[in-house]
Chains A and B, each alone.
Chain A
Amino acid sequence: RKEVEQDPGPFNVPEGATVAFNCTYSNSASQSFFWYRQDCRKEPKLLMSVYSSGNEDGRFTAQLNRASQYISLLIRDSKLSDSATYLCVVIFNNAGNMLTFGGGTRLMVKP
């Protein structure tokens, strides 16, 4: 079983839709949580950090549930430019700053 798991998708949604991704992690001793975005044939880029209290950045909302060991990302009012792979990332305790990635969830927003 992978340490960080995501539904690979693809999620095909129309413009303007709201879409949510979940991610589960296996190690309760986890320190930090993030969502990264990766465009096709490009490098991953940090989208946002995830905090227990939940955090919002424009159309994007991230939430962490430590008790259930899952992380979510909600995208409202989807744009064509949101089409990408979204990577759930965890830093486990005592792992320094080593990032553990999920397999990614692919989102395709259609006109």
Chain B
Amino acid sequence: GAGVSQSPRYKVAKRGQDVALRCDPISGHVSLFWYQQALGQGPEFLTYFQNEAQLDKSGLPSDRFFAERPEGSVSTLKIQRTQQEDSAVYLCASSLVGRGYSSYNEQFFGPGTRLTVL
């Protein structure tokens, strides 16, 4: 079956430009996560959705970052007034169930969007 897809795969933005990154999770998956991976580093958590509710946005680095998942499926991560330090790969992951389950529910990652801010 189809996995997590993300678009665009590559995005080059001029500093100050707004960008929107899209994530299509696996159909039926309740949980959706966004992570940011800088070059040579591990991914870092940005935000979490359970269905359409954004339950955790503690990892968003500034108020220029905004995420939404209005119908509980597709999610968009928006970055306003991009800065050079925003250059990274943005990874989306989904998992079948939401919080509250005692056992780990595997997160499946999309291929990421590589954002370069000039």
Which A residues are within 8 Å of any B CB, using their own CB? 4, 8, 32, 34, 42-46, 49, 87, 91, 96-104
Given contacts A43-B109, A45-B109, A91-B104, contact A101 B56 (CB under 8 A): no
**Smallest CB-CB separation from B58: which chain A residue?**
A98
Q: How far is the CA of A42 from the CA of B109 in the complex (A)?
A: 10
Given contacts A100-B45, A103-B40, A103-B42, contact A43 B111 (CB under 8 A): yes
Number of B residues, CB within 8 Å of A: 23
Which B residues are within 8 Å of any A CB, using their own CB? 31, 33, 35, 40-45, 48, 55-56, 91, 95, 99, 104-107, 109-112
Q: How far is the CA of A63 from the CA of B14 in the complex (A)?
A: 46
Chain A residue numbers with a CB within 8 Å of B44 are 101
Chain B residue numbers with a CB within 8 Å of A46 are 106-107
Q: How far is the CA of A45 from the CA of B44 in the complex (A)?
A: 15
Contact A96 B55 (CB under 8 A): yes
Chain A residue numbers with a CB within 8 Å of B95 are 97
Partner of A98 from the list B42, B45, B105, B109 (CB cut-off 8 Å) is: B45
Contact B48 A99 (CB under 8 A): no
Chain B residue numbers with a CB within 8 Å of A8 are 40
Partner of B111 from the list A42, A102, A103 (CB cut-off 8 Å) is: A42
For residue A93, give the distance in angstroms from its CB to the closest CB of chain B. 12
For residue A111, give the distance in angstroms from its CB to the closest CB of chain B. 26
Q: How far is the CA of A102 from the CA of B37 in the complex (A)?
A: 11
Contact B43 A44 (CB under 8 A): yes
With A32-B104, A97-B107 given, name 17 new contacts (CB 8 A): A43-B110, A44-B91, A45-B109, A46-B107, A87-B42, A96-B55, A96-B99, A97-B31, A97-B99, A97-B104, A98-B48, A99-B33, A99-B43, A99-B107, A101-B42, A101-B43, A104-B42
